[in-house]
Amino acid sequence: MRTTQARHEEYFSFLRSVSLLRGLPEEKLAKIVDCLEVDYFEKGEHIIREGEEGNTFFIIAKGEVIVTQSTEGFAEPQEIKTLGVGDYFGEKALISEDVRSANIICSENDTHCLVVDRDNFNQMVGTYEELQAYLKEYVEELSRSDERRNCK
C-alpha cells in the first residue's frame, strides 16, 4: 500500500506542474494536497450534470473528459471540448454562484480527478489575487462563448 507521505509527494509534484497553480507558494500547495479528495471515474460516467448544484472543483490527474452542453436546435447536448491531464473544471458554479453550466462526462476508463471543495477552493483562490482575477475573466469569457453557441 502506498503511504500517505508518498501520496502527498505524488500529488504535490503533480499540482506543481498544473499551469493554473504555477504562482501558488509551496506551503499553499501543500495545504491543498492535505485537503484533496481523489475520485475515480469510468468511461461514460457523468462527473458533472448541467443544471445541478455543485460545490466542488476538479483537476484531472489521469485520463480524459468531454464537456457537453444543451444547445438551441439540438435534442442532445452538444460536445464543446475535451479536457485531459492538468486541465481543470467546475470553477464556474463556484465563482458565479450558479448551477453547473455544462456536463462533464468521463471519456476514458480509470480517470482520476483531484477534488477540492468550495471552502478549500475559496481559500486557494482567495489568497492569490492573480488566480482570482484570471479565473473571473475566464468564467466571463465562458459565459460569452455560451451565448455565441446558443446554449439553452
Out of 15, 21, 41, 92, which residue is the one contacting ligand WNU (CB under 6 A)?
92
Q: Find, among 135, 116, 117, 124, the residue nearest to 27 by Cα.
A: 124
Residue of the chain from 66, 85, 131, 142 that contacts ligand WNU (CB under 6 A): 142
Residue 14 within binding range of ligand WNU, rule CB under 6 A:
no
Shortest Å distance, C-beta 9 to ligand WNU: 26
Does residue number 51 form part of the binding site for ligand WNU (CB under 6 A)?
A: no
Distance, in Å, from the CA atom of 139 to the CA atom of 136, rounded to the nearest integer, reads 5
Strand pairing class (103-106; 65-69)? antiparallel
Could you identify the residue written with the cell 500529488? 11
Question: Considering only residues 11, 14, 41, 89, which one is a binding residue for ligand WNU as defined by CB under 6 A?
Answer: 89
The three grid cell numbers given for residue 43, joined into one nine-digit string: 468511461
Of 84, 69, 78, 74, the C-alpha closest to 143 is: 69
Total residues at interface with ligand WNU (CB under 6 A): 20
- Contacts to ligand WNU by CB under 6 A: 48, 54, 67, 80-81, 83, 88-93, 100-102, 104, 138, 142, 145-146
